[in-house]
Amino acid sequence: MNFKIVNPYTGKEIAAYPVNSTEDISDALDRADKYYSFQRRHTFDERAQQLGQIAKAFHDNAEVLAKTATENMGKRHAEALAEANAAGNIAQYYADNGPAALQPKPYTYLGDKQAVMQYESTGIVFAIEPWNFPYTQVMRVFAPNFLMGNPVILKHAAIVAGCADQFEKNGLQCHARTRRFPKPVSNQRTGRSHHR
């Protein structure tokens, strides 16, 4: 079975993405588990720096992202461009503000008892996302979890499989530049694309 991308403006199939096999999904879970263990040796600030690079990639590649959204699900170009940049803005917001928000916070409870609230990663997050906002909906899950150190495995709506592929490529582009972290994005709705 393939996810077929049909351009709603032309009615023509423009790409097909095979559904992942059980082995592909098992491999993604193994990689996510390794990433989870690896990231625990790194700080929020280090991940925020990489998240800032992901934000930049979304801004730098906004035209390609917009074109893909238009071809996948019919979003008008101006709206698709705004969404691609909004996804970059979400990532940048967490890169800029996340580390300070995640610092340990001392507090007093029951009158005079002292405690410290700390933030830690919890493990793999599985995100099932809709078609209508193919970048911002995913980034709202990805950015804070990436900053926390939680790997995210995405199952996107079939009609925006190309958008999911572009999301992953932007994350991997940053990985290729830095090599500081393992691959930060795992996209489990597709295998290789077969463009027509």
Closest CA to 138 of 121, 150, 124, 126: 126
Residue 138, classed as helix, strand or coil, is helix
- 132 vs 13, 21, 29, 55, 123, CA distance in Å? 19, 26, 27, 21, 27
Rounded mean pLDDT, 158-166: 92
CB 96 within 8 A of CB 50: no
CB 125 within 8 A of CB 141: yes
Digit-coded pLDDT (tens) for 18-61: 888 899 899 999 999 999 999 989 999 999 999 999 999 999 99
Helix, strand, coil percentages, rounded to 5, for the chain: 55, 20, 30
What is the predicted pLDDT for the residue at 196? 41
CA 48 from chain centre, in angstroms, equals 14
